[in-house]
Structure 1
């Protein structure tokens, strides 16, 4: 009896040929025919790096099906199609071996611990070597005074000269104005507000002007006021990108100024040197005392750093006190740029009381909440798998129809066969392709199947218990302990107006990605109504 085999194929970036998937699948089909293997399923990941398992929906589905014993072996062109990371490739091999499933590479045969170790090492060295070569190439570009990537505000890429920039006078005038206004004593916040009111061109990627866009961050050397290109100096290597092994996301880390690469490019200068130097002296960071640094680490209020505007999603900050001495909070985007679509002001003590009430009600039975998280997670994984499978079928149909259309065009161009019949077949396949693409576009994006690590769930349960006890005896528990526990469990608190006058609606987003609790029933507390206050999953990250 023939063994059941599946094929896994992958190519790395969207700059590579998408037919690479089809070529790998064709190679595996031939191998299966020659070695009496029954090919029962095709898994693939297009334009996905082999450096991480994150985002590899095809591979995750393969591993999930392996647990259900749906096949006996996995056939790949080479082992680096599975992963170019030593840890990940070894983990895949370990899990498939445990399930009694072989990994077969077309050019090498059945994988063993030795070949997996060697191929994992070679793949990772190849990837790291490529990274070094790319950096070396970028260093060469910078030495020649050419841009290593990105589009600084005030410039655009020169289409006739790769790596060179052209000044955009409208944006350059805004840059000069920012430097002049700041040197004259205006704050970044007031400058941003004026630019927003005047509808000045916004830097790429920004919805509106903000104080941070202008002032930036000293550690990273970011912000318009810190950009040395405006003074005729091209600075590269301010940050380095590293991949978080726990999330698969690339994160930036600042490099010390001693590692920055600086090249003089006087043709790009927008701001006079004297003005630029004067501004740098004004924004030079002063050394903070030990007392100041310590105070910055401790939240000033119970909800400091957690509050979010329900209209635009920006943070919220204090607006000062009213005549009775009560603190008010407002949308930070509205304060900085005046661009919040529905700005609202709230009394901080009422919001804090509403959050406390929500937590007290949620935390009465913390064990039930943990059990709910587990059940929700299992259902989500199952749903994500079904959703991805349906989408994979549609994507494969689109690829197959597209390939068939290309073949028919080739036959017509070469005069092979009856051109009238081929033309009719081509039109029919094109109609089917358009219909398949339309159906695929209507499919929702696949969910990422997330499971909680037992240790994380245990720690979460313990934090729930401690916070429950602290909330029930708030005065004796101590403000610091409640604040700390709150930040362990809550990612953000979204505040918006309720449907009735005087109502406040809050939503607590839990820090665990897959955390979900039943929505609360409306309950009035001293004129404050907390509606839909359940703890819900945030839209990103743990």
Structure 2
């Protein structure tokens, strides 16, 4: 096979992380020496040396390799020279496709110096066998690496290489994370904004306007990650940037998994297959703030076109169909200017109106100002009476917890009747359920708040207070009675349930 004029000659080198452990024999510098010497001694000039450093032989999406294949497909390459066939790749089928099909069609000469392979001199009977052994090598290496990672992950050692935004690796112990105060301040601010009712899109827009480096940009600018690649826009924040459980001081291993070394696309592991280790590094966010934000994030809240987000978005529900109440604002203009009024109505009703379908529910309309006044008055009554009657209130809560326990116990016993062989196991589960759910029904911190050991007279409701105390608000359809509009609203409190205001008034009797 003669070299065609005006076509390129590529000297290609590759080095993976595993090859680095074997010493200098496979180093890029050593490969370059071997390839340039061979090319100059055999008249393969002029040539271009390209290489991929840190890429596995099973990965064919290497930058320089991809560039070379594009030139081959375009018909611009005459010869490709590698140190040995393992440098070209370690996948038997893909290497065979490139060398036996693509290179043959494009009339490209492949030379592997140390393996005595030269397509220009004819086929080597041992080439296929060498490619097969190269694949076995990477397969065996993959098994060993998986075994090591499994052992590390199960022992509690952090598997993730890149530290979360807000942390950096300890210079004295790279396996340990320490707080990076500059970025941690932004993390705390994002959580505070979330507690104050800002949605992900609003927070991202605020950070974009302030021209603050995003996590990728910050890690690159501050050299937190070695060999970090610069991102396209280091000041662009998206809506899913932070809110990681690692901010509680947790290490979570095995979040993802891959099928094999040939298909290493990360796939999410279900929670039951993940391993969580507590107190592995300093926490940036306290558990109470995390719980509030997580509760708020479970309910997607669309940012209104005008005014602020709904105070009760995600916790207000229709009493008839069970759907969430839709929050919207309308502008009211008068001689003093324009004001915005927020209201709620059944989302199913609004869908029926929008698509002109048969209505499945009624409007359940209520103004946010009215709903806020009702909830605030009830919460004030609750906080006013609890400090005076702590024992009675605790008894009410424990009685309600006991009733829930009885219902759960009855359900367990019914199951036990159907599965007699598991009665002993179910009795143990029931006893544990009582201890966990009744004795620990209300945490000390939450009970201190409910028992009035903080400011009881709230001037206004905030998203943090709403999600801290309230599980859901059930709004009934208004009724007309003698010209008066009456509407029933039920407040379901976290860990307590509904508290009847009339029964609450009788706590002291």
TM value normalised by structure 2: 0.43
TM value normalised by structure 1: 0.40
* Greater fraction helix: 1
Kindly name which structure, 1 or 2, has the bigger radius of gyration based on alpha carbons: 2
